[in-house]
Structure 1
């Protein structure tokens, strides 16, 4: 579990985060949604320790990050998996080498153990037959699955996903959504997903934080978001044709 309390962050005179309180639950897909400039990326970077908030706390399983020693911060980083927006794979490395990279960086496992763990996670994302290929030789969806394998290879307690469906077609995006959700439940991870993809919200939105102008404007799940009359929320989510169709079907009792 990750809990943020009264989190505030400013740059110069501009306040980006204006006192946010939210609990990211373990074993659930926690989504942070909102328009560009709402504070999503700044919130993510605060949670990763890349930005230091002026006020408030970020607690990892009850322990405040601001109280951590440098050694404890390093230990926490080893418990975090990161799925970047563009995948961020190394073009000069094979799939196997890309997934192995965090293991080489953070562990002292024997070569045999490294290969066993890499094979295990590649099998989990259905890519065991692509281990020797380079990123340029596989599809965009497969590249995202490689990135997921790399993010979980160190058995993280916390998984951060920054726009995981960026650049993917709707069908492939749904596959990635469901894979992230299944891995979250299977390994009991606290997963935080920054997204503007309304299909993701509809598919795996178990715990949602909606930010607007640096404020937590609404929170709930994918079922509750259809029932809210909060105009701030409805003006945002119902720009999606998919959401309009679902809402219409609900109103017609379908």
Structure 2
């Protein structure tokens, strides 16, 4: 479990995160949502250890990230997989080389062992015969699947995704959502997704943390979000007429 307690972060004296507390559980797809400027990207970077909070704790299965020494912090980083917005693949490396990169950096595995692992994760994300192709030679959806394969190649305990559906068409976005959720459950990973895609929220948001002006304004599940009377989350999620109609249908069916 990742436990966040009373987290504060500021820049140049301006508070960005204001006392956020929440938990993220194993085997669940958890989502951080909010408008631009709400603090969700800063929150994700704090979880990743890229920002050091002024106050509060972030504990990974009992390990307080902010108090870890260099060796323990390095070990924690090896347990984290990251899917970046846009994929962030190395253009000059093949698909195989992109996925093998963390293995070369963090393990002493033989070339044969690394290749076996690369092929395994490629198979898991439903890609084959692309080992020697370059990112520019495959589609955007395939690039995202390669990014997911690279993120799980080290068998992480924790998976973080920053806008994994950015730039994808709705059908491909659904494929990526389902893949992330499947992997989360299959390997019992703690998965945290930073997203603005309400379709993703409704489909795979087993835990949703809604930030507004640096404060946790609401949290719950994608089912509870239909029933909530919290004005902030209702105004955010149901600004779309489509979602308003979906909510109305859900509330009428559950009366």
TM interval, short-chain normalised: over 0.9
* 1:128 partner SS: coil
Distance 1:82 1:60 in 2: 16
- Conserved 8 A contact 2:227-2:251: no
- SS of equivalent residue, structure 2 residue 253: coil
CA distance in 2, matches of 1:51, 1:170: 32
Task: List aligned pairs for 1:143-158, cutoff 5 A.
Answer: 143-158=143-158
**Which structure 2 residues correspond to residues 72-87 of structure 1 after superposition, within 5 A?**
72-87=72-87
Distance 1:211 1:17 in 2: 9
Cα distance between partner residues in 1 of 2:170 and 2:241: 13
Counterpart position of 1:195: 195
Q: Deviations over 1:70-104 (max 9, x none)?
A: 10000001000000001001111111111111111
The answer for unaligned runs of 5 or more in structure 2 is none
Corresponding residue number in structure 2 for 1:108? 108
Moved more, 239-248 or 68-77: 239-248
1:64 aligns with: 64
2:2/2:61 contact within 8 Å kept: yes
Residue 124 (structure 2) aligns with: 124
Aligned to 2:50: 50
Q: How does 1:19-30 map to 2 (within 5 A)?
A: 19-30=19-30
Cα distance in 2 for residues equivalent to 1:225 and 1:7: 24
Q: What is the rounded CA distance, in whole Å, between the counterparts of 1:138 and 1:32 in structure 2?
A: 29
Q: How does 1:141-220 map to 2 (within 5 A)?
A: 141-220=141-220
Matched, 1:96 2:96: yes
Divergent runs of 4+, >6 A:
none
Distance in 2, Cα, partners of 1:166 & 1:137: 19
Deviation at 1:13, TM superposition (A): 2.2
CA-to-aligned-CA distance 1:146-198 (integer Å, 9 cap, x gap): 00000000000000000000000111001000000000000110001000100
Give the Cα–Cα distance (whole angstroms) in 2 for the partners of residues 100 and 228 of structure 1: 45
Contact in 1 for aligned 2:32/2:194 (Cα 8 Å): yes
**How far apart, in 2, do the equivalents of 1:247 and 1:28 lie?**
23
Structure 1 gaps, min length 5: none
How many residues are paired up? 254
Aligned-partner Cα distance in 1 for 2:43–2:105: 26
How far apart, CA to CA, are the structure 2 residues paired with 1:115 and 1:41? 34
1:160 and 1:193 in contact (8 A); partners too: yes
Q: Could you say what secondary structure the match of 1:225 adopts? A: helix
Tell me the CA shift for residue 248 of structure 1. Answer: 2.6
- After TM superposition, give the deviation of residue 252 of structure 1 in Å: 4.0
Q: CA RMSD in A?
A: 1.0
